[in-house]
Amino acid sequence: MSGIGTESNDPLPSPPEEQQATTGLDKDEEDLHQRKEEDSKGKGEMSDRVSGQNGEPKTDDQNPTVSQVYTATKMTLLPKSPHVKTHALVNEISFLSYTFLFNYISKKKSTICEKCNVALPVFSLQDQDQLVILYGGTNVAVMYDQTSNSQHVLQGHSSPISCLCVSEDRRWLVTADRGQESLVIIWDSFSGIPVRTLFDSHPEGGVAVLALSKDSKYLDFLICSQRVCIWDWTNETEDPLCVTDLNQEYGFQNHIIFNPNDITQLLSNSESQVLFYTRDKQHLDYIAPELLDKTFNKVVGMLSQSVFHWRGLQALSATSAGNLVLWDMVRASSTSRPLVRRAVKLIPLQKDGITVLTLTDSFIVTGDTLGHVKFYDENFKLISWYSEFNLDPITSISFSKEVPPNSSQGYLKDCTLEAKMFVIRNFVLSTVSSTVVHVNAQGGVLQTLLREHCEALHAVACHPQQPVVAMGSHSGILKVWDYERKVSICSRVFEKERHIQCIAYDPQGFYLAVGFASGSVHVLDACTLLSEAEERFNFSQDCITHITFSPDSLYLATAVSRHTIMQRWKYLGRHHSHYKPIRDLLFGVYLDSTQPRLLSLGMDRRLVEYDLQNSKVKDELLILSSERIEQSAVPTCMAWYPPLTTEDFLLTASDLYKMKLFNSTTKMCRKTLLGPTYGSPVEKMAMLPFSKDHDPSAHYMAYITNDKVGVQILPIDGNPHKSSALICHPTGVSAMACSYDSRYVFTAGGSDCTVLSWEISLNALEAAASLGGKELIPFYSLLDGGRDGELFREMEDFFYYCQLRNQGIDSMEMRQVSTRIPLAEVPFVMRALGFFPTEQELEDMQNEVKFSRYAESGRYVTDIDLEEFIKLYVNHRPAFGISRKELLHTFQVLGDSYVMGEPVVNKNELLELLQDRGEHMTENELAECFTTLVGLNSEGGGPELGAFECDDAEDVLESEIPEEISMETFASDILGFPIYIKEILHSSQEGMLSPSGSEVA
């Protein structure tokens, strides 16, 4: 499908600020369809938009009401005017343009297609009145105005951007990604509005390279599956004009370009092959002329980029050996009349490998591995070069659209014998080391626009009292920024340790602790980033994964995989407290005291507290307590819960999308709640600091998942409308930090070398929560069928049946009907609804209700009403059903053999595991469960597990369960899921299975 913007009153596709819910919330299919509907409302022809002189849009005299695209000028977008924030998180100042995000240069990074290994280019949009460039990173592109230090973020993709291009007049920008639901979006550079979106046009893996024709009418893109498509994006066609599939033997084509003199001709190249295309109406044919070392009896080298010569017939290809391959039209033989394209000459242009090849005016321009830019005339004679910039290998060169002035005053002289003035356009170039520079040709002035991290960036921290954010990367660069003024305050490069893994400010903001992958720790002055020799610690050879200060700044704790290291400005001790990696490390204070306390949370499901008061001896860190807080879920993070109740709570999150509140003293689980369910569980969370601009009684939490950042209204109660999330780093978020005034959340993208800033709009978050409904309305929506569905009616029936059972089923006396049931009946209602909690989960439910009012009244709660039960059920039941992948993995782990290619589990081993491991079951209990599941127990099981009487339990288990249990038998015959093993093994979808056999989102 495709969508198109309008020319009159029909709404254009939503601006980037209004698309964030589409690209961020994890309701991907619903949001994608909504975008398609909005985007397909346009009915105007886009061809008129690009037919004006210099790309200026034509006005419509007959229709005075025109869209923003038609009224926009190049000064419309920047600086951006204030607007009403309609989303809880706004990528208001993505630090793309302030060098906080810069991942598109290094070929190791995620935005580079793994097959074609092509870096995203940087484009010069204008450089006279304003110096504006375009570049991309993660899932956004940025128009950065260096003159005013402002930016506009083009946000519409939910997957990493794989390529981008601009029209010759710089009016139209094109971005594409390579995700599962990949998009191609055409943007108006004057207004920042997306004017056309191509949906579902390349499901085979996304777009690898893009090209626009000289008249900007035709868009050509090459899909990662090696399919070339040409679109006339200026009309409403739903399909490309022509499509052709390439032979895989020609290698992955990583560069494509239109012939500027003939839009029916194109070329592309891989590292070893150049393809020439000819379009004839709806057909696209190509030829692959031979090019080998034996063609010229010389080493050709790997091909980097190719261009058409401005004369049209010839073409040029640059190689890693410093050669230029000249392609021309020749006759196939002396007797044949048709012309074919062949490599006719190999020109040894220079010794160093050529990485970039382009044309400007009458010059051939190259960028090479030494960071030099050279200019040649049409006869391949060197005219001038720039070699004094001391740059790394060049990855892109983009010349300004503004022609140089008539006067040659101030220009450098060329290297010819005549020493003429070398008059060229200004240009922007980028390097593999994440550097972008602007070259003013009039005087040869070099201006560095961006110079930033070129390796993984995992560390980010905010100053506790100032608008300052610090970030560190594996390149050893530590930078501190003023995020309000958008200027760098100070920086430091660590040459020895290099790989910065985590950083943290102390609560007073005087010190900045830096943890390295080498295991060393530096404590720096927060203002100067300098450190003394005695403030460097190296007591581990493993990577520092977590680092934190105590509230009084006296203690510094670090986590090294399974170890916890405690430092009181001098090394105190460490302890191997977990047998699996530590997921979080947290300082706090004891109740009614200022004494610090330290806790660690591990993937071994244990919450460990350390005895700081008695750990006085060097190299001795004592453990105060170690509690197992989960049975099957793996905890991911923890945080101190705000003082919303009289109790002091510790909040934890797990990989099963649950959050739990633990009493900070007794470590008892006091509440289990449904957490955000945006595609992946919560990985890190932090309470937003108190802000004088907000209601003092209101509390909020920021969190990150695998690829999203979100905010949550407290108290947490399982209401899904009290949370909002957006995609921030499609390849994964590694760290998060909150500003001291609760206005911003900063996220680090790890491998994408990214730090993004997200402005928080709490008013928008509260408004969204209000629209979701009050009291039980949000929870009804979490039940199948809602308030009027069958599940709710079953709840009512079971609820009142419990009252009858407690008063005696056979009683003829007057019934006392109420709205509450005894707490002891909760397990049976849960099981009747198809949720079978473990004994530990049942105990947690009982405690949650029993102690819900104990702190206020001093009394236990012994019954529960229907509304409270619905919340209990929604929060405790699994967030999703049984996944096919999970079922397959379980059988692969438990099974020791295969039958007909399917994993099977031995019956005796399964029964032994059920009786001896985990929560033990007796043989009678096993017999009761299995006979009930297979339908042999006419009563459907007893009211209490273990009340089932069976003298021959062993015989029942022996006769009713096969010796070898396959997945199909277990799923369909025992659990009642009508699924087939082949469907599980070969399905690419990871759907969820419910007892009815239907898939659950």
Lowest mean pLDDT among 53-57, 176-180, 184-188: 53-57
Does 715 sit behind a cis peptide bond, omega within 30 degrees of 0 on the bond before it? yes
Lowest mean pLDDT among 194-203, 350-359, 378-387, 738-747: 194-203
Q: Using 50, 70 and 90 to split pLDDT, how confident is the model at 147?
A: confident
pLDDT for res 820: 86
CA distance 600 to 610: 8
Could you write out the three-class secondary structure of 308-369?
ECCCCCCEEEEECCCEEEEEEEEECCCCCCCEEEEEEEEEECCCCCEEEEEEECCEEEEEEC
Instruction: Output the CA angle 20-23-28, nearest 5 degrees.
Output: 135
Task: Please compute the mean of the pLDDT values over residues 163-181 and round it to a whole number.
Answer: 89
- Domains of the chain, start order: 778-876 (1.10.238.10), 884-974 (no CATH)
Q: Quick: pLDDT tens for 669-691.
A: 999 999 999 989 999 999 999 87
Q: Using 50, 70 and 90 to split pLDDT, how confident is the model at 337?
A: low
- Residue 168: pLDDT over 50: yes
Identity (one letter) of the amino acid at 430? S
Could you write out the three-class secondary structure of 433-496?
CCEEEEEECCCCEEEEEEECCCCCECEEEECCCCCEEEEECCCCEEEEEECCCCEEEEEEECCC
- Cα 54 from chain centroid? 38
- Residue 1: pLDDT over 90: no
Of 200-214, 228-242, 813-827, which has the strongest mean pLDDT? 228-242
Largest alpha-carbon pair distance within the chain?
A: 118
Q: Quick: pLDDT tens for 705-734.
A: 999 999 999 999 999 999 999 998 888 999
pLDDT for res 368: 95
pLDDT for res 84: 59
Instruction: Output the CA angle 129-130-133, nearest 5 degrees.
Output: 145
Lookup: tokens for 608:
């460990």
Whether the CA torsion 121, 127, 130, 131 is positive or negative: it is positive
Lookup: tokens for 386:
């720039």
Could you write out the three-class secondary structure of 44-77?
CCHHHHHCCHHHCCCCCCCCCCCCHHHHCCCCCC
Task: Please compute the mean of the pLDDT values over residues 638-663 and round it to a whole number.
Answer: 94
pLDDT for res 48: 44
C-beta neighbour count of 860 within 10 angstroms: 12
Can you name the residues that pair with 51 across neighbouring β-strands?
none
Instruction: Output the CA angle 277-283-286, nearest 5 degrees.
Output: 25
Residue 450 near residue 436 (C-beta atoms within 8 A) = yes
Does 79 sit behind a cis peptide bond, omega within 30 degrees of 0 on the bond before it? yes
pLDDT for res 134: 92
CA distance 131 to 803: 75
CA distance 608 to 455: 34
Residue 493 near residue 476 (C-beta atoms within 8 A) = yes
Task: Please compute the mean of the pLDDT values over residues 165-176 and round it to a whole number.
Answer: 93
Lookup: tokens for 257:
């370009």
Q: Is 89 helix (H, G, I), strand (E, B) or coil?
A: strand
| Residues 6+ away with beta carbon under 8 Å from 185 | 154, 156, 157, 174, 175, 176, 194, 196, 197, 198
- Residue 248: pLDDT over 50: yes
Could you write out the three-class secondary structure of 595-621?
CEEEEEEECCCEEEEEECCCCCCCCCC
pLDDT for res 133: 92
Residue 162 near residue 116 (C-beta atoms within 8 A) = no
Lookup: tokens for 81:
């005017």
Lookup: tokens for 138:
């993660």
Q: Is 796 exposed, middle or buried (0-12, 13-18, 19+ CB in 10 A)?
A: exposed
pLDDT for res 115: 45
Identity (one letter) of the amino acid at 974? I
Task: Please compute the mean of the pLDDT values over residues 226-231 and round it to a whole number.
Answer: 88
- Residue 12: pLDDT over 70: no
Whether the CA torsion 380, 382, 383, 389 is positive or negative: it is positive
| pLDDT > 70 fraction of the chain, expressed in percent and rounded | 81
Residue 56: which of 75, 32, 35, 31 has the closest Cα? 75
Task: Please compute the mean of the pLDDT values over residues 56-70 and round it to a whole number.
Answer: 55
Give the HSE-up count for residue 496: Cα atoms under 13 Å, Cβ half-sphere. Answer: 6
**Which backbone phi and psi does 948 adopt, to 5 degrees?**
-65, 130
pLDDT for res 339: 77
pLDDT for res 278: 93
- Residue 24: pLDDT over 60: no
pLDDT for res 79: 54
Q: Quick: pLDDT tens for 971-988.
A: 777 766 654 444 444 443
* CA-to-CA dists, residue 256 to 165, 177, 207, 321, 570, angstroms: 11, 16, 12, 21, 59
pLDDT for res 952: 64
CA distance 425 to 432: 23
Q: Quick: pLDDT tens for 844-903.
A: 999 999 999 888 888 999 999 999 999 999 999 999 877 777 788 888 888 777 776 778
pLDDT for res 405: 78
Q: Which residue has the higher pLDDT, 54 or 897?
A: 897
CA distance 550 to 597: 8
- Cα 637 from chain centroid? 19
- Residue 32: pLDDT over 90: no
- Residue 61: pLDDT over 70: no
pLDDT for res 336: 59
Q: Using 50, 70 and 90 to split pLDDT, how confident is the model at 110?
A: very low
Start-to-end CA distance of the chain, whole Å, equals 24
- Residue 701: pLDDT over 50: yes
Q: What is the pTM of this model?
A: 0.83
Identity (one letter) of the amino acid at 231? W
- Residue 516: pLDDT over 60: yes
| Full DSSP string of 755-806 | EEEEEE-HHHHHHHHHHT-STTHHHHTTSTTGGGSHHHHHHHHHHHHHHHHH
* CA-to-CA dists, residue 212 to 105, 189, 232, angstroms: 22, 15, 10
Residue 872 near residue 864 (C-beta atoms within 8 A) = yes
CA distance 645 to 714: 12
Instruction: Output the CA angle 143-128-383, nearest 5 degrees.
Output: 105
- Residue 801: pLDDT over 50: yes
- Residue 656: pLDDT over 80: yes
Lowest mean pLDDT among 107-116, 593-602, 915-924, 940-949: 107-116
Identity (one letter) of the amino acid at 476? G
CA distance 665 to 653: 19
Crossing angle of helices 866-876 and 839-850, in 10° steps, is 140
CA distance 424 to 648: 69
| Residues 6+ away with beta carbon under 8 Å from 568 | 554, 555, 556
Task: Please compute the mean of the pLDDT values over residues 407-429 and round it to a whole number.
Answer: 85
pLDDT for res 54: 41
- Residue 329: pLDDT over 60: yes
Residue 430 near residue 717 (C-beta atoms within 8 A) = no
Q: For 337-369, give one letter per residue: b (16+ CB within 10 A) or e.
A: eeeebbbeebeebbebbbbbbbbbeebbbbbbb
